[in-house]
Structure 1
Amino acid sequence: MAQRHFVKYTFLAVAPEWRRLPAAERARQKAEVVAACEDFAERHFLRTYSLVGTRGDCDLMIRTAAPTLEPIHEFHVVLNQCALLGYARIAYSYLSATKPSPYADRPQPLAPREGQDGRYLVVYPMWKKREWYRLPAEERMRIMREHIEVGRRFTGIDTNTTYSFGLDDQEFVVAFDCDDPLEFLDLVETLRATESSSYTRSETPIFTCIRCSVSRALDALDGERAVAAVEELARERR
């Protein structure tokens, strides 16, 4: 069996005071974060996403994965030493792990899938009602077959479910790679009518994340890239 992985979702909110720092100092602090992320990504899975414009309570999400918890721990220790983190807080944090799904009729990857990233990642923690776990296994399988069949109608969405039982407060972390958020909206609306939905206790907060490089995600924090583009346009018009 392939090796299972721990997966960590870290959502950061940056204080307004950071945006008032001189541009050179902000650039230096962003470079520290880039270096920390790139060092981890040399040996492990790391993706960054911007939430500027999609959430009001966080600005950046870092998604990491490794076969053991130690590299994830060490990465966050290094990250906390970056000056930018002195102006940020962890708004949300979810720890989970991969495991084979008892309902899937196809092999499920236990490591993050390289090269299958969508333009967007929709993430949320999830809890099932306790009644769900008291159902016979064959009954749960019957209910989930309908759920899976609905999901397969939406071919532009790739589901990444990880498990948190005993590791964190939630039971699952569900993440969906997609290129069209409207397709995901339609999927969720359709799933509301399925029997499996009646056994969901909670699936919020929901995060619509825009995938981008570390540098671009950090530039979105202070609009540095947008400012540079406006200045370049102004020079061209002179």
Structure 2
Amino acid sequence: MPERHFVKYTFLKVDPAWRRLDPAEREAHKREVIAACEDYAQERLLRAFSLVGTRGDADLLLLSQAQNLERIHEFHVVLAQSGLMAWCDTPYSFLAMTKPSEYSDESRLEVRPAHSKYLFVYPFVKTREWYGLDPKERWRIMQEHIRMGKEYPSIDLNTSYSFGLDDQEFVVAFEGDEPAVFLDLVQRLRTTESSLFTKRDTPTFTCVSMSVERALNALDGAAVHVSA
């Protein structure tokens, strides 16, 4: 039987003073992060995204996935030992797990390793009234939501669950190549009955998919002279 996975969204914000360090020192810091990510990614999913130009309070997202929490913990311990992390804050951090959906037949036991240009991420919390509804009524309401989503086949959805693990109830991550298509989808979803039971679905992050090396280079505009 397939294993469920832990999913961790780690958002980093770099101190502007880091960009004033000597280029060689910044490059050494990047090399350390690249090494930690390459080691982790040998057997597990790790993806990098840049938020430079899309958010003012985060510069980089590292999305990591593993079948047990210890691997994610160890990765972040090693990451914290890099020189770059001494100059970084973590303004947002979301921990979740995968599980099968209650409302569709699609399995959600792991985050799909697709490589669209963009990832749109936000934490999500339902109202308590939602959980007071009869399960059959919740299923009925969600079918409209699901049908509407299927009208936008270029947008791929990854949902993970945080009940008891983190502050949010879900972490929702949509992948796509056209932000305009995602914008239209979200606007239409606001009209569904299920949206009446949304308590919180912000902050929202528009993340640009790229290699770890490119995402690090976007922090200061300087290249790392290694193959990542």
Q: Considering the TM-score relative to the shorter chain, is it more than 0.5?
A: yes
- The answer for the alignment partner of 2:203 in structure 1 is 205
- The answer for the alignment partner of 1:110 in structure 2 is 109
- The answer for the alignment partner of 1:91 in structure 2 is 91
User: Which segments of structure 1 move beyond 4 Å, counting only runs of 4 or more?
Assistant: none
* Structure 2: distance between partners of 1:165 and 1:20: 41
Which of 149, 152, 158 aligns to 2:150? It is: 152
Give yes or no for the alignment of 1:53 onto 2:53. yes
CA offsets 1:115-165 (integer angstroms, 9 cap, x no match): x22110000000000000000011001100000000000011000000000
Give the secondary structure class of the aligned counterpart of 1:13. Answer: strand
Give the secondary structure class of the aligned counterpart of 1:224. Answer: coil
With normalisation by structure 2, the TM-score equals 0.96
- The answer for the alignment partner of 1:39 in structure 2 is 39
* Structure 2: distance between partners of 1:54 and 1:17: 20
**RMSD value, Cα:** 0.8
Amino acid at match of 1:77: V
Greater share of residues in helix: 1
- What 5-or-longer segments of structure 1 have no aligned partner? 226-238
Q: How does 1:169-208 map to 2 (within 5 A)?
A: 169-208=167-206
Give the secondary structure class of the aligned counterpart of 2:191. Answer: coil
Shift of 1:43: 1.1
Give the secondary structure class of the aligned counterpart of 2:65. Answer: strand
- The answer for the alignment partner of 1:30 in structure 2 is 30
Give yes or no for the alignment of 1:139 onto 2:137. yes
Report how many aligned residue pairs link the two structures: 223
* Structure 1: distance between partners of 2:106 and 2:141: 20
- What 5-or-longer segments of structure 2 have no aligned partner? 224-228
Shift of 1:2: 1.1
Shift of 1:223: 1.1
* Structure 2: distance between partners of 1:207 and 1:223: 21
* Structure 1: distance between partners of 2:186 and 2:129: 22
Which of 210, 217, 220 aligns to 1:219? It is: 217
The answer to whether the 8 Å contact 2:13/2:90 transfers is yes
Shift of 1:107: 3.0
* Structure 2: distance between partners of 1:53 and 1:201: 28
* Structure 2: distance between partners of 1:112 and 1:188: 21
Q: Larger radius of gyration, structure 1 or 2?
A: 1
The answer to whether the 8 Å contact 2:108/2:159 transfers is no
Give the secondary structure class of the aligned counterpart of 2:159. Answer: strand
- The answer for the alignment partner of 1:230 in structure 2 is none
- The answer for the alignment partner of 1:166 in structure 2 is 164
The answer to whether the 8 Å contact 2:9/2:61 transfers is yes
